[in-house]
Structures are given as structure tokens and as C-alpha cells.
Structure 1
């Protein structure tokens, strides 16, 4: 049913009132709202930039800390290593008197009597004998200038012992690294030594060809593991007193 004139008038008034409310805002009010929105956007952008700056700063600090820590670690390792200013390798910079690891060390040279032949400082090469050995044979190889060995003295010697027939070495003071000292002529050594070294001068090198009966015998069962049969010794007399 169509509205009555009075009702129509009320509706018209209501519509105009709403239009006035929506259109009644002044231009200044609209501009203020736009400005407020712009300010809010600027504040949000500035806050975002500040957060990014803080994050970048913290990352930079972390990188610097890592770099400083790395330099400190390198310097500490450098300090722990031995200095080598000469540029020599570690083995060349070691003390001269320190033997290399796992390297065999040569026995020290014997102390020679005054005026002795320098050849007494080196181990002699001893070869096998020839022919049948029937008696003790003393062969001078180097003539010493010291006093003659007397019975009952303690003598100091270097020696090499080999089997007379094949020259195979069975004993040597050179391998032990020091000369041997013992009394001579009183039964403390084999008869071939007791007889063959009396009268030899200090500083001499002699070859002793000793039959089995003047050495350790000819019977292996009675020798107790010692060499049997004829033997050859080269003996250096270094001292006698």
C-alpha cells in the first residue's frame, strides 16, 4: 500500500538527515584523517627501518667477534710452535748432540794412548786364516810405542774374534761400544791371550791365531755354547797398569 503524505514526509526528512551526516564532513576533517594515515605509515616504515638497522648491527658485531676470535686462535697456535728464525727444518735446528730418533748410534771412539796410530780408532776387518793352525801365532799389525805388557797387569783392549776357518765373527768389543779391561797372565782369559799378549807394547794392534786347545777347546759339548776350534783375534792394546 502506498505511504501516506505524512509518512512520506517523515521518510524524506530521514533520508536528508542521513545525507547531511555523510556529506556534512568538512574538507579539513578529511585532510586530517589522510594526514594521520600518512603519519602512521611513516612511523611504521621508520620502525621497520630501525628493526632492520638493529638486526644488521647485531650481525656485524657477530661477524667481527668471529674474525677477532679467529685471529686470536691463529696467534695462539703460532706462539705454541717453536721459533725457527733461521728457516731451517726441525731436524737441522735440533741440538748437534741429540741423536735422530730411531737411528742407530755408532759406538764412541775409544780413547787412544798418547802417540798411538789413529787406525786404532776404527774397527779392523778380520778375515779367515789359511791352512791348518797347529800353534799359537802372534802377528804384529801396528807397533805401539808404549811400555810392554807384563804378567799380572790389568790391560784395556779392543778386539774382534772370528772363526779361523771361515772368518765368521762371534765376538767384538766394538759392538759392545766400550773396550774390555781384565788381568793378563793369571788365568782370567783363555791361554792364547795370556801367552800371546805378554810383552806386547801399549798402542799395538796384534793378530792372535789360537788353536782350539789354547782357546775354548775343540769339543762343542764341553764348550758350553762358546766357540770351539781354532780362532783368530785382532787385539788393540790401549792401556796396561
Structure 2
């Protein structure tokens, strides 16, 4: 399985596990305190006690530097003068052609992933020389991809800035820190084929 399948696809498994974990017992007859709640408080309290100071504005797609042409590995440069966006941001850096992708269509994508907190490249299909195949809207990838690739055309290079709630959330995955904002540059090798 491609690394993206492990990284992005795990988001679906994590979401299901979170949903199941959140569906704990409604049994009110138990008088024992929940050790799970106490443990969760201990884990989350330090992160909340020392929040990152705001830089005064949220970044936009125009704040992200991307160099390289369609089909080549991009160089992604993140700014240090603004906060990560709280909503999904998409921007076509290279316009493609043909019909835009819709849910249920097959996509063949190349991508590079950089994490916001440290600007490190975490994964790249460009480096492997093998595009990633997925069915758009099929839950095979993180919600940020299922939502952010709608309308992408063959030949498009699209920037996706994915907030934590559309990525891996509070749990993180495969070397991705909890509550991490993800920055992808994606090339649509083919749409619907």
C-alpha cells in the first residue's frame, strides 16, 4: 500500500475508531469514576495550557510558496508570519482541462505532503514515481482530500491546506502530530479514467 494510503486512508479508520470510542456505555448505574476521562484530561491539559501565540491573521493560499511545474516534485515553502487556516483551502496553481472530478470518479493523483508545524515533507508520490489511485468521495482518503479534490481537472496542480478536523484530528497518524495542519500539492494525472 502506498504511504498516502496509510496516511490518508488511516484517517477513515481513525474516524471510525473515534466514533466507536465516543459511543461508550450509557449505563448510569455504574458509580465508579471513569479512568479514561482522567487519562484524557492529563494528555490534553498540557497542550491547552501552552497554546501557540497567534500571529494575528490566518494564512491564505497565496501565503504558501510552491515552485515546480506540473509533473515534477514541488518545493513547498510555508510562511512564518500567519496562523494555519481553520478551514479547508484549495487553489488551482495550474489549470487543467476537461470535466471536473465528481464523487464516485476514479482519480490518479501525484502529491507531496508537508506538515504545517515544522515544514517537513512527510510523503511524496513524486519521489516514488508512482501516482496514487482513489475513488473520490469513497472514504478511502482523509475528508480534506474527498472535499478538496472535487472539481479538479486532468492536468491541474492543486494546493490543499487541510485543517486538523479534515485530516487526522486530535489523534494524529503515521508520524503526523495530533492537530496538525496538512499542506498538499497535488497533480491530477487523470480524472474519471
Query: What interval of TM-score do these two structures reach, taking the shorter chain for normalisation?
Result: 0.5 to 0.7
Classify the secondary structure of the residue corresponding to 1:194: helix
Distance in 2 separating the partners of 1:125 and 1:225: 20
Aligned-pair distance for 1:166?
2.8
- Residue aligned with 1:121, SS: coil
Task: Determine helix, strand or coil for the equivalent of 2:76.
Answer: coil
Larger radius of gyration: 1
In 1, Cα distance between the equivalents of 2:159 and 2:115?
Answer: 13
Q: Per-residue displacement from partner, 1:55-102 (whole Å, max 9, x unpaired)?
A: xxxxxxxxxxxxxxxxxxxxxxxxxxxxxxxxxxxxxxxxxxxxxxxx
The aligned residue for residue 232 of structure 1 is 183
RMSD of aligned residue pairs (Cα, Å): 1.8
Q: Take 1:121 and 1:186, find their aligned partners in 2: how far apart are those partners? A: 25
Counterpart in the other structure of 1:119: 69
Give the TM-score of the pair, scaled to structure 1.
0.47
- 1:179 is displaced (CA, Å) by 0.8
Higher relative contact order by CA 8 Å / sep ≥ 6: 1 or 2? 2
Shift of 1:122: 1.3
User: Match of 1:11?
Assistant: none
TM-score (normalised: structure 2): 0.59
Q: 2:104 aligns with which of 144, 152, 176?
A: 152
1:148 & 1:182 partners in 2: Cα distance?
Answer: 15
Between structures 1 and 2, the one with greater strand share: 2
- Relative to its length, the structure with more helix (as a share) is 1
Determine if contact 1:163/1:170 at 8 Å carries over to the other structure.
yes
- SS where residue 131 of structure 1 aligns? coil
In structure 2, stretches of 5+ residues that fail to align are 1-67
Q: Is the 8 A contact 1:202 1:238 kept in 2?
A: yes
Tell me how many residue pairs correspond in the alignment.
122
CA distance in 1, matches of 2:86, 2:183: 13
